[in-house]
Amino acid sequence: MAIQWFPGHMNKARNEIKEIMPQMDVIIEVLDARIPYSSENPMVSALRGDKPVIKILNKADLADPDLTQQWMQYFEQDSGVKAIAFGHDKAAEVHKINELCKKLAPHKVGADKQLKAMIMGIPNVGKSTLINILAGRIVAKTGNEPAVTKAQQRIKLDDGIMLYDTPGMLWPKVENENSGYRLAATGAIRDTAIEYEEVASYTAEYLIQAYPELLKARYKIVELPEHDWEFMEMAGKKRGCIRGGNQIDTHKMSEILINELRDAIIGRITMETPQMREEEEVMVAQLREAAEAKKAAKEDEKKQRRARARKNRR
């Protein structure tokens, strides 16, 4: 599933970020702890240069705690990167983010100095809620719909930190099909832009392999089937998702599965691992190379046709 969802305000924000990035001392990237790889914006690594980055694995209270720990260790292998897990259960620890900012930019700490930090994150990652906690007041509009924040704003925090907020945005094209499904499953993309049954099918296939016991317990299934479509039918029957002719309403069951995943009713689930990231990065690079080779071959073919046409006109 190729995702291309890039409203106009996101394009404007991307250009603004490019312009002010050089002035920043620290970049704060808010990730969804359930999809730390798929919720990373490639633009951050492309634009930050050697600026230090704090990766906040937000919504950690909804994610698998063991995998959250693995992801934090994985990210911190990169120089200049610090990772911290955050969720509603850790709101009292928000001061750690300020402390990390000062630790990463010590030259901007002290009287008459101002540390500039830019906070970035994909839609619906919980960035606005986090900002309100950091500021100790309501300064950012929150909501469960993606792309609530539409304009850049500056927020003065304690400890001489100026926080530059940016709209939640995806990049123009999500190349990794797996990431597209995970972004849809966790709510980073508007539901009107996704096919529920496709996303639920992908999700079920992953959960059968990664979290079989949680599925069994939630949907009261003694023995899980091998295939996602069989699971959707079994779970749909258990939940009474029946339509005319005693057929299973798989669309209704798809909505139930996705909503219960998002609300952590099934359990604390992470939909990707560091190993999956490594494997999928290789796959994406291969697809990109193949696409570039195909494009180059087409251009070469066009040149040859034009050359033949010129020759024939002589």
Contact 262, 199 (CB under 8 A): no
Residue 28, strand partner residues: 54, 119
Answer yes or no: is 15 a known binding residue: no
Answer yes or no: is 61 a known binding residue: yes
Contact 284, 175 (CB under 8 A): yes
- 290/258 Cα distance (integer angstroms): 33
Answer yes or no: is 302 a known binding residue: no
Answer yes or no: is 245 a known binding residue: no
Answer yes or no: is 60 a known binding residue: yes
| pLDDT range class, residue 146, cuts 50, 70, 90 | very low
Alpha-carbon torsion angle 270, 280, 76, 31, nearest 10: -50
From residue 121, give the alpha-carbon distance in Å to each of 27, 45, 168, 201, 214. Answer: 11, 13, 5, 27, 29
CATH code given to domain 195-262: 1.10.1580.10
Contact 118, 96 (CB under 8 A): no
Residue 311 clears pLDDT 80, i.e. is over it: no
Tokens matching residue 71: 């992801």
CATH code given to domain 8-165: 3.40.50.300
Answer yes or no: is 125 a known binding residue: yes
Answer yes or no: is 26 a known binding residue: no
pLDDT digits (tens, 9 = 90+) for 12-47: 767 778 888 889 999 999 999 999 999 998 777 777
Answer yes or no: is 129 a known binding residue: yes
| pLDDT range class, residue 148, cuts 50, 70, 90 | very low
- Considering 33-47, 113-127, 257-271, the range whose residues carry the highest mean pLDDT is 257-271
